[in-house]
Structure 1
């Protein structure tokens, strides 16, 4: 019988994207619907989204929980740009939808805009232009400052902040940086001085913001923070509205404590009425940070490449809710993802008490792989015994939400007779449960250890797990009960701690075992526990 051909993946583009980006999808065999009008019509988007595996957007499309609820087959959302403020990421994560952005495509453009705003502030260029074109010649009014030898304070040294810092050094400025994630080694490589925020506020002649808007960064330049800045400071924000208190900044400008401010972003956009508007020392642009022809094309091409790679190859790049997986890694990871998920599922099905922790140990060659994805698969397997709707995207967040501690340990080198071993322990309030497995050369995952007892068992859709005393008579009676019930045994795998001690049977059967048969097996004198498990 010929193999069935899978239907092509379908992607909806609901915002403007270039023809070159559309061509990338088509070249990868993806059906593409270019309908940019849907980005501004939420109800129409909800009606249409259920037919698509991928969604490519810019900033106009708002992906709300209602949109995601209607997206019954959606697997990935790609945002052509850095911010994903217009996507409900927690709702997408719970739905198992990958959310990607394109953090590198417009980094240079945004950094250059911040530098341009800094120059405009230093020399009052927009004000001087308006005055001159108004027929005035106010040469003495517009007394600027040199940037050379001034201290530039960069708040946030990510993709964009790094570039701004490098440009600042090129301008012969002294660059200091505040970023909790900036290592001492990286600071040295960039040529910046790493400082705490209070020190940056006190020393910087120019402060430029390059952090995302989070609960921790909202109003990072509050009234109190602005009061701690150096008198005569100039402030640039080309990152996100909401990073500074606009009312407090206006007051600081009115008092002269802040000499000037240049903003490309605002707390409310489109910004049509803002407390900073009209101040003579304020320069404003309408969120132009990424608005160059090069940047718009770069992010469009990048998002098309990323969505296509995920739908076709399983590669994940620049996801905000899942670890990256390269196109080269995806085929090698796939069997280990299956192994981790099935081992986790097995242990989850054995666990009745509340789970408190999940520990995953990687030994041998697998320890050098992308284990974060494998750990997500293991957690998915464990939690699926309790929540059928859990998936690899939502599992880590769900575990955190329920206070389940997830630990990951890597042990390279040889630790057993197998090239790679994945060991999972599920800690529950009653007792821990553990199992280990590997992937053979045929790419099939196998169980090699349960409760410290060695065995060799392949996974099957229906299996019985039996703990028993290693005494004569168990196997015969067990087999007879299954035979009398018409349950066919596919494989029978045994392991024991020692002769006459604890033993385990892991048996694949061809269908569901009735509850009454499980009760009869439990009644066998040698049996300590029996559990039907499904994969």
Structure 2
């Protein structure tokens, strides 16, 4: 495994990587230079300088891209996801640094500190021009209650401010008991005296604060942005600052960086810093160490802590659902080895104790198992959902939680142009995985190694004929399972084998009287 670090990274993170893998540090590469060498690496670690474009991703054989920081707008995450490349970041390492910088800018804007410092340094003693406002008793609007937004809210409460917050993904009761009042975006921007932003830059947050929303704000509002440039329409903000609608703003980020041509930085009521939110010695070490550890986990095939384009599993739940993740993938693989047809719908049904957990990782594993055998593009836990939806496959997830103490069962039901089929599985004690049904045939199959599955009419002697044929070809049978719908009716036989079954032997089995089909399965 080889890792490329293409931006400046704290040596503590590089040292951790070097303990496990070969690491090259090559900074200030152009897109063309990076494209020339990227195919030689399994992992890429960046900060904000390197732009990981679709061209770079398409040229690569990467397994993981790590961002030493929070924002990933310099990485084409969609292209990485489609190719099955995991993207990880380090959202916790700079939380304190970013929240402290936000509060520092909040206070600086409220008390006109930079302008007052500049005035005094120019040998002027001017106190009247820099009268500020107090924070205590004022309302701080916090847009985005992630780690940083919540930490800013805590600090503001400690300063005696009222906190009014907007975040569509936060449960109201979870934050209101810590004195943060939750409201819709319009209410926040209408009622706040100060507004601070802590959201990622996405299609929905781009220019979320425009001329119309600025007009809803209180007169003399103060705006802080330490999140991402592009959240605020800078032209609309400039006009509002000039007119006095917005009394002041403090910006650490800009839509185009460096913003040397931006008229905003020339205004006297604008405090501007050069993207310093994460620029503390402690934060740089923290994000480097955090991303390095996740890169190592990813390359070792372990569950990562901070996935950007994969479902997060809480550590305390992982051990409980891991055997079901493995089982679901094998169930999906079994189905597409056994049957064919154009898939239109995949339904995953969960019963028993597994319904207590977030089952989406299990569903994703089932989809991965299905797609692995039918797509040229490698399917994994990163891109399985994406690839399924790209093919127009409808995905349904159901929990039937009548008895959450009962053994956990998973039913995979697939609809194709040839009908509906299903595979059912469970996990016994000591994490023993079993496939317990295929369609209406009840079996007890250990999903490991090799198996022969044959469909036939239930009659005396047919099991022996198949067994003798395998014996003549020196293929050892490890176990046998038989499921049937009725006496002398249709039956399914499963023979676990210690060796692969050649195609010519499989053809001979299919010629046995009353055998309708025979399939060799690899788990």
Structure 1 and Structure 2 fold alike (TM over 0.5): yes
1:22 pairs with 11, 14, 35, which one? 14
Cα offset for 1:349?
3.2
- Aligned with 2:229: secondary structure? coil
Question: Residue in 1 aligned with 2:340?
Answer: 352
2:425 pairs with 437, 452, 460, which one? 437
- Aligned with 1:180: secondary structure? coil
Question: Residue in 2 aligned with 1:41?
Answer: 30
Partner Cα distance (1:427, 1:306) in 2: 37
Tell whether 2:197 aligns with 1:209.
Answer: yes
Cα offset for 1:343?
0.7
Cα offset for 1:313?
6.4
**Unaligned ranges ≥5, structure 1:** 1-8
Partner Cα distance (2:461, 2:24) in 1: 68
- Aligned with 1:449: secondary structure? strand
1:454 pairs with 442, 455, 464, which one? 442
Worse-superposed segment, 204-213 or 332-341: 332-341
Task: Trace 1:13-162 onto structure 2 (pairs within 5 A).
Answer: 13-26=5-18, 29-35=19-25, 37-72=26-61, 74-162=62-150
**Unaligned ranges ≥5, structure 2:** none
Partner Cα distance (2:303, 2:457) in 1: 47
Question: Residue in 2 aligned with 1:281?
Answer: 269
Partner Cα distance (1:461, 1:312) in 2: 22
The one-character-per-residue Cα deviations of 1:313-336 (angstroms, maximum 9, x if unpaired) are 613111011123567876776554
- Aligned with 1:277: secondary structure? helix
Q: Do the aligned partners of 2:354 and 2:404 also contact (CA within 8 Å) in 1? A: no
Q: Do the aligned partners of 1:481 and 1:521 also contact (CA within 8 Å) in 2? A: no
Question: Residue in 1 aligned with 2:395?
Answer: 405
Tell whether 2:161 aligns with 1:173.
Answer: yes
Partner Cα distance (1:237, 1:472) in 2: 78
How has the CA–CA distance of structure 1 residues 86 and 188 changed in structure 2, closer, same or farther, with 3 Å as cutoff?
Answer: same
Question: Residue in 2 aligned with 1:269?
Answer: 257
Cα offset for 1:197?
1.1
Question: Residue in 1 aligned with 2:283?
Answer: 295
- Aligned with 1:253: secondary structure? helix
Cα offset for 1:212?
0.6
* TM-score of the pair, normalised by structure 1: 0.88
How has the CA–CA distance of structure 1 residues 386 and 457 changed in structure 2, closer, same or farther, with 3 Å as cutoff?
Answer: same
The one-character-per-residue Cα deviations of 1:111-143 (angstroms, maximum 9, x if unpaired) are 111111111111111112112211222221222
Question: Residue in 1 aligned with 2:457?
Answer: 469
2:360 pairs with 372, 382, 385, which one? 372
- Aligned with 1:126: secondary structure? helix
Cα offset for 1:435?
1.3
Partner Cα distance (2:517, 2:112) in 1: 80
Worse-superposed segment, 447-456 or 255-264: 447-456
Q: Do the aligned partners of 1:478 and 1:521 also contact (CA within 8 Å) in 2? A: no
Cα offset for 1:180?
0.7
- Aligned with 2:130: secondary structure? coil
- Aligned with 2:266: secondary structure? coil
How has the CA–CA distance of structure 1 residues 409 and 138 changed in structure 2, closer, same or farther, with 3 Å as cutoff?
Answer: same
Q: Do the aligned partners of 1:247 and 1:275 also contact (CA within 8 Å) in 2? A: no
Cα offset for 1:213?
0.8
Aligned residue pairs total 518
How has the CA–CA distance of structure 1 residues 390 and 312 changed in structure 2, closer, same or farther, with 3 Å as cutoff?
Answer: closer
Task: Trace 1:191-230 onto structure 2 (pairs within 5 A).
Answer: 191-230=179-218
The one-character-per-residue Cα deviations of 1:62-121 (angstroms, maximum 9, x if unpaired) are 22233223332x322221100011211122222222211111111111111111111111
Q: Do the aligned partners of 2:306 and 2:312 also contact (CA within 8 Å) in 1? A: yes
The one-character-per-residue Cα deviations of 1:247-300 (angstroms, maximum 9, x if unpaired) are 111111222211111111111112121132312211111111111111111111
- Aligned with 2:128: secondary structure? coil
Partner Cα distance (1:169, 1:326) in 2: 29
How has the CA–CA distance of structure 1 residues 120 and 517 changed in structure 2, closer, same or farther, with 3 Å as cutoff?
Answer: closer
Cα RMSD over matched residues? 2.9
Question: Residue in 2 aligned with 1:385?
Answer: 373
Partner Cα distance (1:460, 1:106) in 2: 44
How has the CA–CA distance of structure 1 residues 489 and 410 changed in structure 2, closer, same or farther, with 3 Å as cutoff?
Answer: farther
Partner Cα distance (2:60, 2:495) in 1: 39
Partner Cα distance (1:175, 1:414) in 2: 42
Cα offset for 1:527?
4.2
Question: Residue in 2 aligned with 1:496?
Answer: 484
Question: Residue in 2 aligned with 1:423?
Answer: 411
The one-character-per-residue Cα deviations of 1:172-215 (angstroms, maximum 9, x if unpaired) are 11110111112121221331111111111211111111111111
Q: Do the aligned partners of 2:506 and 2:518 also contact (CA within 8 Å) in 1? A: no
Q: Do the aligned partners of 1:264 and 1:285 also contact (CA within 8 Å) in 2? A: yes
Question: Residue in 2 aligned with 1:4?
Answer: none
